[in-house]
Structure formats: structure tokens, C-alpha cells
A and B are shown apart, each in its own frame.
Chain A
């Protein structure tokens, strides 16, 4: 079981101090938060992707490779990578590069993005968001698994004899989570490929997320990747901690009340009652988080949203201390004791290398020589049988 924190990268006015951080301040802060996450014993840090203010994270792989360089154990991931407005070829290249630089300490979560104006900036149309996401992933999946890809689809210019470089580290593709709240096609795609499925699990009651997770588990088994229990499930969640319950509520309320998305709506109490949010003492947060396992069965990754709504850096770092110091160790123990031995392990590069090669050495692709025109001819790698067929004139 992996525990982590994820951020949407919002730059929000602190409703208590009235200050809005600069982009530079917020970017520095997020790096400190990620480093702190490792320091307090968490396993994962995730960042969102946005292409408009008030968010900073337009280039997640740049940020994540920097964080990977500053840490030793932390897995860096996204929440989410836009599979709609990004070219899947660029995603294949950028995330493979991140995989090499982080020595496999990375994965990614795919999402569609629901900000309509962003789509046309990248030549796309939100009304086509779902088929875009599905088709783009089909291509991304092949680009990481086949040295030479011929491809043709509805949304992207065709590829002929294309090799995405660098090849994935150890020729083992990055692990992919498909994130969705209410789209069965996304759960189906995750199940079809044997990838992970992630439920955001922030705004809606657990029962909403459970429907799709159960569907994903059934389809995962249907496609022969393992039993329903072996499907790879991740959940979001949102916490605010203080030693004493009443302090947590008092400190968090101004941030909750003005939070983007749900601020000025439900009361903190109603929202905590109706959704996975827990605001309280470490024990209260532990108790509520343990109900997730009761609802969804054993799962592999729990991500918490901590830094948002204008919360200042020192407050987030204090939250991390409490989360890593008092909550996660108990959750690890409790969940380990409840865990069905049949359930899947959390995904890591090392385990995936082992699953592919056993004790044999991993493949290390070495390109054929440059023919002088900056390509390697029809076969890109020395050990590859793949042959590119280039279009011919006439």
C-alpha cells in the first residue's frame, strides 16, 4: 500500500492573511512539499496539469524530474496528465524521459480535463473529450511497447515507422492509472489494458466511486489480468489534521469556506459528513480513512489532498508532519493486518521489471548507427526485429 499527497497546483489567495503567493513562491513551495513528503515517510507525490491561471503546473515532467532528483525513495506521479489535449507522442517521450531520470520512481495518471476553453488552445474540442482520451491512450500504450509504430486514428496525424525515444527504462513502460469519476468507458479501458484505476474521491460520497471501481474490478478479471481482488485501485481523499479535533475544524474552516470548487456552498460539517473529507484529530482521520478499505476492498494507493485553497506553506508542512508521523504509520499497520494476501501489490518499477524478466537481465535497447541522415534505417535498435515501413513516393 502506498500513501501520498497530490496537488492541483492552484495559486489561491490565503483567505486568512489575504496574500496571494506569486507563481515563483508557489513553485518553490510545491518542491518543498514534495521533499517533505518523502522526509515524513510518504511514498508518492502527485501534481496536476493545467494550462491557465491560477494554476502553475503546465509542465509536470519538468517539475517531477526536479523533485525526483531531490529525493531518493519518493514516487512522482500526476493527477492528472491530460490525455486529451496533449499529443500522445509527446507524452510517450516526456514520461519515458522522466522514467529514466527518476530511475523508475514514477508513474502517471490520465484524465480528460474539464476546462472547455483549454481544448481549442491545443486544437481540440471538449465535446470530443472522451473519444480523444480513449484513442490517445491506445496510441500511447503502443508507443511504449512497440519499437516501431504505424498508426492511424481520428484525431492525430498518422504515424509511419515511428519510434518513440527514449524507449522506456528497462523496456518496461511506466505504470498508468486511468482517473475517472463517472465514465464507464475509462474504467473499461483501464481494465482492458490491466492498468490501474483511480477514483478522485473528493467531491462525492464513496458510494458514487464504488460503482465504477466495482465495474473496473469485474472487467479487469474479465480481461484475464487477474482476479477482481488483484485489480489495482487508487483513491483520493482530503484531510485536515490537528492534535485536537476542535482546532482542526477551527483552522481549516476559513480555507474550506473559500475553497475553489466547493467554497461558499455546503458547510464544512455537511461536506465532511457526505464526502471522504476528514477534518479532525489523527485518530479521527485514521478511523475515516479505514472505512475506505471497508467500502472498496483492498486497494493499492491512497492520495491525500493537503495543499490547496490558499493554505500557506508552513501549514501544509505541519499537515505533512502529522500525516506522516501519526496517521500513515497506523494506517499501514492496520491495512496490512486486514489485507487479503491475494490482493495486488502497489505498482513499482522494480516489481514490474521482475514480473517481466524474472531473474534475467532487462532489455537495454541500443540504437543502430546513424546512417548519416539522422535516422537508423528501417530497424532502430540492434536487438530489434521490428522493421519500419516508410511511405514511398508515387
Chain B
């Protein structure tokens, strides 16, 4: 599955994943502000961004089903398709009990390990107090590192008091330009086309798109009557 680099004439595909559960949700608002900023910056540079939002609240039942039974419901399937095709992602979580919400984490837990390889991601989180400010860098970043994503240097955290602060806007600007530059560079596409095989995959992983079969592996030799045993000394 070697996703070609997005041609510059095609709009960038930005997928927003929001773990907010209320409506309106500050977690969603934060994600939307970042996505809007990315879109405007892109327009200023003569580029287009098409964004799509995955509101995890609507997928809550299917996420728990996927955890206990591996069955992907229709909404999960659409979300996986969108993420697989995404050029970049904004992932925004509410902080509960000093951690990103279980719904948010669970969603990423059930994705294939190789679905998001090398994709640029802005990590964002909201909380009721600034004491949770390190949740992104301490906890969310490791999850996205496991998924081999390219998280941008600036994480965007918003506690209640940040919503009126111009510094939040500045951090959003920073994260947005970082994300846009990574998209423009075609980093994800290049990593995938040049190095896809060097990551771990399973048959049917990457959201069902990873279907390459290496017929020359040691295991394939064993499958066809060969051996992996070392010859014994005579």
C-alpha cells in the first residue's frame, strides 16, 4: 500500500478526530479552530484543504464493540477509510482524571498499528484546569509514537482560562503551520512509498489495504515443504 504523494492540485485531506462528548464541546471547538487555521494558512499559500470530522461520541457504541469483539461497525469502517486516506490529522481529547478520555484512547487502540504511519498529527486536549497541561506531551504523544505518526512539535492544550488568552491562538497558529509544512513536504507519502515494508504489518492490516504477500520469506519456504532448521553437524 504505497500511497502516492498527493498532487498539489488535489486539496489536502485533513481529518479531525474529536473526543468531546457534549454539544457544543470545547474539545471539538479547539479541534475546529486548529483545522480552520490550517485551512486559512493553506489558502494564503494557494492551497486547498478539505476537512472531515470524526466525532467519537457518535462512534461510542462501535468503539466498545470493536474492543470486545473485533467487529468494526459501519461508522468505524468509514472513520478508518477517512483516516487511511488522510494527509494529516488533528486529534483532540478531553482530559478525564489526568488522562485523555477512555473513549478517545480506545478509538486509537482498535485501529491497525500501521494505519497512520508517518501521517502528520496535531495533538490537542482540553481540561478544566491547567494542572493537566502535560497530558498531551506525557501521555498522548506516546500513543501516537506507537502508531508511528509524525506529531508536530507544538501541542495545543486549552484549560478553561486559556479560551480568552491570545497565547492559545498563537499556539494554534504554530501547530497549524507545522502541520501544513509537513503536509506540503509530502513526508507521509514519501515514507510510505520508500519504506512501507520496513514497518510491521499483518495481512489485511492498514484498514484492510495491506494485502502484499511476500512469497520469498522463510515462513513461506517452510509452508511449501522447506525447512528453517539448521543442518546438524555430521
Contacts and interface: CB of A to CB of B under 8 A. Distances in A.
Contacts of B69: 203, 261-262, 265-266, 271
Interface stretch (B2-10, B103-111, B162-170, B225-233): B225-233
B219 A134 contact: yes
Contacts of B234: none
Contacts of A215: 213
B224 A188 contact: yes
A349 to B, nearest CB: 24
Contacts of B98: none
Given A264-B68, A266-B69, 4 more contacts: A130-B219, A185-B222, A203-B70, A275-B71
Interface of B is mostly: loop
Contacts of B230: 154
A185 B219 contact: yes
A270 B71 contact: yes
B73 A184 contact: no
The range of chain B's interface size is 20 to 34
Contacts of A332: none
B204 interface: yes
Interface stretch (A204-212, A286-294, A303-311): A204-212
User: What are the 10 A-B residue pairs with the smallest beta carbon separation, nearest first?
Assistant: A265-B69, A265-B68, A189-B223, A154-B229, A134-B222, A262-B69, A192-B224, A266-B65, A188-B223, A185-B223
Interface of B: 64-65, 68-74, 202-204, 208, 211, 213, 215, 217, 219-220, 222-225, 227-230, 232
Interface residues of A, number: 35
Interface string A234-259: 00000000000000000000000000
21 contacts: A135-B229, A152-B232, A153-B227, A154-B229, A184-B203, A185-B223, A188-B213, A188-B215, A188-B224, A189-B223, A203-B71, A204-B71, A208-B204, A211-B203, A265-B65, A265-B68, A265-B71, A266-B65, A266-B71, A270-B73, A271-B71
A58 B73 CA distance: 35
